[in-house]
Amino acid sequence: MTMQMHNPPHPGEVIRGLCLEPLGLSVTAAAEALGVTRKTLSAILNGRAGISPEMALRLSIAFDTSPESWMNQQTQYDLWVAKKKKKRLRVRRLSAA
Residues 6+ apart with CB under 8 A from 82: none
What is the predicted pLDDT for the residue at 97? 77
What is the predicted pLDDT for the residue at 29? 97
- Are residues 68 and 35 in contact, defined by beta-carbon separation less than 8 angstroms? no
List of domains in the chain: 11-81 (1.10.260.40)
Residue 1 has pLDDT above 80, yes or no: no
Distance CA 69, CA 74 (A): 9
User: Is residue 2 very low, low, confident or very high in pLDDT (cuts 50, 70, 90)?
Assistant: low
Give the model confidence (pLDDT) of 33-79 as tens digits.
999 999 999 999 999 999 999 999 999 999 999 999 999 999 999 99
